[in-house]
Amino acid sequence: MPPSQAPRTLTVELGERSYPIHVGPGLLGDSRWIQPYLAGRQVMVVTNETIAPLYLDRFKQGLPSDLDVREVVLPDGEHTKTLESVACIWDALLAAGFNRRCTLVALGGGVIGDMVGYAAASYQRGVAFIQVPTTLLSQVDSSVGGKTGVNHPRGKNMIGAFWQPRAVLVDTDTLSSLPSRELSAGLAEVIKYGLIRDVGFLEWLEARMTSLRELQTDALREAILRSCAIKAEVVAADETEQGVRALLNLGHTFGHAIEAHQGYGAWLHGEAVGVGMAMAAEMSRRLDWLAPSDVSRIRAVIDAAGLPLSAPASMTSDDFLAVMRLDKKNIDSRIRLVLLQTVGCAYVEEAVPNASLEGLLVDYPRI
Ligand SMILES: NC(=O)c1ccc[n+]([C@@H]2O[C@H](COP(=O)([O-])OP(=O)(O)OC[C@H]3O[C@@H](n4cnc5c(N)ncnc54)[C@H](O)[C@@H]3O)[C@@H](O)[C@H]2O)c1
Ligand SMILES: O=C(O)C(=O)C[C@@H](O)[C@H](O)[C@H](O)COP(=O)(O)O
Ligand SMILES: [Zn+2]
């Protein structure tokens, strides 16, 4: 393997719960990457019906031979991110007689990762789990940081827990089978990091969007490493979102409203976040932080990633507000929004003027 492709390792620094993020090709079939993080001999691999035929055998071949390995293959889709699916994982663990020294493995995208993390957080009051993310979105975002949980019909990720994995194993080879719509969804979260914290990274992305969308390995690997480095730094500073971690929610207050209102899965999470970031940029302009040229620049990079810029035609401003009033970042009845002071610097707006927000929600272009 050329040195440029050798796996690289970052660390999420959380004291005794610190863990590595290993990034590189060929991790799935190689036991050296997983063995150090197994709590005992009992291993439950959880994946879905799309990923199992692609990667489950390769993953199992990379496990040490002396383990008791079981598997759960769930149906696919954001609409399955429910307590019922988590209960299937609990049932399988109990049927196998697995105890507190078992390890759960999340082999899949963010839906699998969030559910397996929550199953691990709650099974016998907490067992080990390992993230093996297979979508770009899960490799740059959801596998890192320990936000686990499921959706509620009234709001995204409303039921859950903070529960950190023991390790994150990012096998970049898995991206070769990812549909381009899913790749674009992952790019939304990558762009987010540049917008909230690193204008240099945003410039890098603007120059390489075509390479990324063509799955060029060097560009993807660099985007994953830079994204994970930013996420790891933010999580280490504020594990349970008391402060700076809220900035990782840029675009999500609007985006989660779209996902919940349209029915989970109708819009991909990354697509909704893409529109949400464009809406947050426009709101930041209306509050005199951003110039019109900044908003155009942000819209251009979201568009170049293959993401939509318009909100759903069927959503009224009241539809947005109904979901936004339940957002987890709110304090009492105040809606708090992540906005941009400049391109590359986000902040939490504590007192969004109602008239400005309603004006935006009425005026913002619909598909
Ligand atoms: N916990 C967090 O911090 C966090 C962060 C961001 C997003 N999320 C959550 O993550 C979810 C979105 O994750 P996602 O975008 O990975 O969606 P996903 O898990 O639904 O995966 C997208 C699709 O790609 C398929 N797939 C996965 N890997 C594949 C591969 N290598 N080749 C071909 N197909 C593959 C999946 O089966 C699915 O159909 C949302 O529920 C979102 O709320 C959580
Ligand atoms: O890790 C975080 O913190 C994030 O906010 C990352 C987001 O991209 C992700 O979608 C997260 O699941 C949103 O969390 P929520 O608390 O707003 O549900
Ligand atoms: Zn997100």
DSSP-assigned letters across all residues of 294-342: HHHHHHHHHHHTT---SBPTT--HHHHHHHHTT-TT-BTTB--EEEEEE
Answer yes or no: is pLDDT of 4 > 80: no
Ligand 1 interacting residues, C-beta cut-off 6 A: 48, 50-51, 54, 76, 78, 81, 108-112, 114, 134-135, 137-138, 141-142, 145, 147, 156-157, 174, 177-178, 182, 185, 269-270
Q: How far apart are CA 60 and CA 96, in angstroms?
A: 17
* 51: nearest Cα among 236, 221, 177, 148: 177
Mean pLDDT, residues 132-136: 99
Mean residue pLDDT of the chain comes to 98
Instruction: Choose, from 249, 259, 271, 349, the residue flagged as catalytic.
Output: 249
- Annotated binding-site residue numbers: 76-81, 110-114, 134-135, 147, 156, 189, 252, 269
- Cα 362 to the chain's mean position, in Å? 29
Ligand 2 lined by 147 (C-beta under 6 Å) = yes
Instruction: Choose, from 226, 256, 261, 336, the residue flagged as catalytic.
Output: 256
Whether 329 is catalytic is: no
Q: What was the pLDDT predicted at 5? A: 82
Q: Which domains does the chain have, with CATH numbers?
A: 3-177 (3.40.50.1970), 180-363 (1.20.1090.10)
Answer yes or no: is pLDDT of 76 > 90: yes
Ligand 2 lined by 189 (C-beta under 6 Å) = yes
* SS3 (DSSP) at 126: coil
Answer yes or no: is pLDDT of 40 > 80: yes
Q: What was the pLDDT predicted at 155? A: 97
Instruction: Choose, from 157, 182, 189, 222, the residue flagged as catalytic.
Output: 189
* 221: nearest Cα among 179, 188, 174, 273: 174
| CA of residue 113 to ligand 1 center, whole Å | 8
Work out the percent of the chain whose per-residue pLDDT is above 70.
Answer: 100
* 334: nearest Cα among 248, 253, 228, 277: 253
Work out the percent of the chain whose per-residue pLDDT is above 90.
Answer: 98
Ligand 2 lined by 274 (C-beta under 6 Å) = no
Q: What was the pLDDT predicted at 2? A: 73
Answer yes or no: is pLDDT of 206 > 80: yes
Burial profile 72-83: b = 16 or more Cβ within 10 angstroms, e = fewer: bbbebebebbbe
Q: How confident is the model at residue 36 (pLDDT cuts 50, 70, 90)?
A: very high
